[in-house]
């Protein structure tokens, strides 16, 4: 099976390399939106931290007074076929898990779903306005012109969408690390809070507590390792595929197993938005990015330049 998967990965990488070459040669052309567009993506297949990075960058831009909107495909949700749909609540079935999480975490920022992100942006601007669009998971979405590309680099990733040579097309490459070292342009995902039963505490409250950890991510072990890192006692772990849609009986079985282990069932925010059960604990994580000031300044310059072109 691993040989088949490797062959599929190499074919996928070949297609992406050929597409990038066609766009670079002008044989295929990207469409432009009349606002600054910033892509946040990676070359790995899953597990790069794109959504937490998008949240961190959106907050930083919002703090600088910029109006931000996010364009996202809405993978796994019905609205992916409805370009320009604004996420109106935590509804993973309609909008997808990642758009629901973005909307939950980004008050005052519109999250716009649709597979055709040019059409989504066009429809959004017909009724709303912004200074900059953030293109979530957009490094391979070459159909839409980007003014700036931010790529999270996860060198240890087992599977790649593109070869590492594609990183030369990025404006900023953020190297994923476990902890920031002080070097420029690093990104570290850190657990910061824990919620259960409608109450929230600092993540340190998990120290010494028995938990049954479960998640449906591209890299579930990363989540389990983060719990061990804050001192939680993992009575058990359960891994599900990325974007897994939990059935009611699966959650009931996890609660039963956790009770038998005298542990609390705990998952990630991305998983919890598909569950919505306050008897399941959720760990909130934040992406820390070194060099954020330089990134934000560059984006602000682009946004102001576009504003000057419109006036």
CB 120 within 8 A of CB 128: no
> What's the mean pLDDT when you consider all of the chain?
91
Q: What is the pLDDT of residue 1?
A: 45
Ordered DSSP codes for 257-294: HHHHTT-EEEEEHHHHTTT--TTSEEEEEEEEETTHHH
Residue-wise pLDDT tens for the chain (311 aa)?
A: 467 766 777 777 788 788 888 888 889 899 999 999 999 999 987 767 899 999 999 999 999 999 999 999 987 788 788 899 999 988 888 999 999 999 999 999 999 999 999 999 999 999 999 999 999 999 988 999 999 999 999 887 777 888 888 999 999 999 999 999 999 999 999 999 999 988 999 999 999 999 999 999 988 998 999 999 999 999 999 999 998 999 999 999 999 999 999 999 999 999 999 999 999 999 999 999 999 999 999 999 999 888 777 75
Q: Which residue in the block uniquely carries the two structure tokens 């719990």? A: 227
Kindly state the tokens that stand for 195: 């919620």
Say what the pLDDT of residue 169 is.
Answer: 92
SS3 68: strand
**In the 3-class helix/strand/coil scheme, how is 122-190 assigned residue by residue?**
HHHHHHCCCCEEEEECCCCCCCECCCEEEEEECCCCCCECCCHHHHHHCCEEEEECCCCCCCCCEEEEE
Q: Measured over all CA atoms, what is the biggest interatomic distance in the chain, rounded to whole angstroms?
A: 65
Q: Characterize the bridge pairing of strands 172-176 and 148-153.
A: parallel
Give the CA distances from residue 189 to residues 65, 90, 254, in Å, rounded to whole numbers and listed in that order. Answer: 25, 22, 26
Give the number of other CB atoms < 10 A from CB of residue 297: 11
Q: What is the pLDDT of residues 190-204, one digit of tens each?
A: 999 999 988 999 999
Nearest CA among 244, 270, 266 for reference residue 257: 266
CATH architecture entry for 2-185+290-310? 3-Layer(aba) Sandwich (3.40)
Pairing of strands 186-196, 199-202: antiparallel
pLDDT tens, residue by residue, 31-67: 999 999 999 999 987 767 899 999 999 999 999 999 9
Contact indicator for 47, 137 with CB cutoff of 8 Å: no
pTM reported for the whole predicted model: 0.92
């Amino acid at each position: 099976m691993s040989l088949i998967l490797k062959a599929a990965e190499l074919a996928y990488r070949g297609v992406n390399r050929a597409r990038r070459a066609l766009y670079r040669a002008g044989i295929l052309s990207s469409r432009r939106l009349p606002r600054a567009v910033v892509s946040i993506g990676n070359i790995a297949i899953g597990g790069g931290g794109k959504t937490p990075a998008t949240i961190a960058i959106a907050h930083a831009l919002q703090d600088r007074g910029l109006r931000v909107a996010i364009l996202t495909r809405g993978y796994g949700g019905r609205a992916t076929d409805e370009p320009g749909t604004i996420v109106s609540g935590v509804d993973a079935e309609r909008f997808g898990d990642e758009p629901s999480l973005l909307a939950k975490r980004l008050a005052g920022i519109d999250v716009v779903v649709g597979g055709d992100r040019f059409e989504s942006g066009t429809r959004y601007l017909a009724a709303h306005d912004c200074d900059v669009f953030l293109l979530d998971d957009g490094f391979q979405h070459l159909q839409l012109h980007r003014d700036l590309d931010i790529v999270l680099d996860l060198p240890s990733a087992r599977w790649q969408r593109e070869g590492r040579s594609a990183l030369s097309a990025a404006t900023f490459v953020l190297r994923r690390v476990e902890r920031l070292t002080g070097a420029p342009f690093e990104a570290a995902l850190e657990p910061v809070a824990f919620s259960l039963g409608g109450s929230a505490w600092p993540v340190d409250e998990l120290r010494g507590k028995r938990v049954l950890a479960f998640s449906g991510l591209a890299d579930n072990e990363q989540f389990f390792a983060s719990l061990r890192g804050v001192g939680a006692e993992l009575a058990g772990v359960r891994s599900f595929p990325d974007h897994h849609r939990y059935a009611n009986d699966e959650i009931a079985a996890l609660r039963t197993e956790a009770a038998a282990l005298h542990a609390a069932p705990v998952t990630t925010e991305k998983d919890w938005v598909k569950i919505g059960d306050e008897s399941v604990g959720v760990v909130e994580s934040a992406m820390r990015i070194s060099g954020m000031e330089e990134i934000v300044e560059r984006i602000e310059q682009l946004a102001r330049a576009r504003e000057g072109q419109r006036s």
